Amino acid sequence: MKYLVVYYSHTGNNRFIAEKLAQDISADIQELVPRVKNFLLLIFSSLLHISFGNKKLSTSVADYDAVVLCGPIWMGQLIAPLRDFIKKYRNQFKKLYFLTCCGGGEAEKDGTFGCMGVFRKVEQTAGSAFVEAHAISLSLIPTENQNANPETMMGIRLTEQYFTGTFKDYYMQFKNKLRN
């Protein structure tokens, strides 16, 4: 299988996961670069479902057997750069996987700001090419304060130091599904 990993990352966490995945599965990798650089404008465009689009990729999505889209979830939303990418290329995907490194844990996944609603939006937007969505929560990373609040968890920046334990296990589960 020929894979393309496409990612958007504001903090660097989804970039870390995307780069690791691309290396592990010998995939090509492309960064999504929104046409709008202002973070607040990106948040509002995500909440209001306004599209500003992304800069053109340097490769053709149709040339790949599968695309893995990696990016964050903000306030329970499929964020504008990811949504715009799916809409633009949905007729070119053979298979689309979605992977997110997010702040919400297992208890929050079905809530207003959880990942499950976003996963449904990805599936609806991508159509028949959608295969699977997977979340790896920052809450799986052991911290000095196991009762850290969400703001503390969102302040974590992934490095090899944190890529251990249950967090790494969730990553490996996703990677292994791609191989099957």
Could you please report the per-residue DSSP string of 81-149?
HHHHHHHHHTTT-S-EEEEEEES--GGGTTSTTSHHHHHHHHHHHHGGGEEEEEEEEGGGS--SSTT--
Residue 107 pLDDT level (bands cut at 50, 70, 90): low
Span 42-92, pLDDT tens digits:
888 887 888 888 999 999 999 999 999 999 988 888 999 999 999 999 999
The count of domains in the chain is: 1
Q: Mean pLDDT over residues 10-29, rounded?
A: 96
Give the domain CATH number at 127: 3.40.50.360
For residue 138, the one-letter residue type is: L
Residue 106 pLDDT level (bands cut at 50, 70, 90): low
| Residue 139 belongs to domain spanning | 3-179
Q: Determine the 3-state secondary structure of 72 from DSSP.
A: coil
Q: Mean pLDDT over residues 162-179, rounded?
A: 90
pLDDT: is 178 or 142 the higher one?
178
In the chain, what is the greatest distance between 2 CA atoms, to the nearest angstrom?
46
